[in-house]
Amino acid sequence: MDAIVIIGATNQKEGVQAEYEFISEKYGKRKKEWKVVAQSISRDTDKLFDIIEIETIPDGDRYFYYFDITKCSWSR
């Protein structure tokens, strides 16, 4: 799995904002051109991931994004 690594976020709010900004760069404005369908945290051995499922508007295509938040101090 190729996960996007979040760097420099000092708290959870900044981390999630960075994730949404990454997705917005690809799909446009959140809640207008895409929306979050589900978001969860998952651990895989020594890694911690924030998994976001999105749906594009209006076509309804769904995509998953895996963000590696292992090194984020707020994720521990």
For the chain (76 residues), the mean pLDDT of every run of 10, in chain order, is 84 92 96 97 91 96 94 66
Secondary structure, 3-state, 6-74: CCCCCCHHHHHHHHHHHHHHHHCCECCCEEEEEEEEEEECCEEEEEEEEEECCCCCEEEEEEECCCCHH
What residues contact residue 31 under an 8 Å CB cut-off, 6+ apart?
Answer: none
Whose structure tokens read 């978001």?
A: 39
- Residue 1 has a pLDDT of 65
- Residue 64 has a pLDDT of 97
The structure's pTM equals: 0.88
Task: Assign domain 4-75 to a CATH class.
Answer: alpha beta
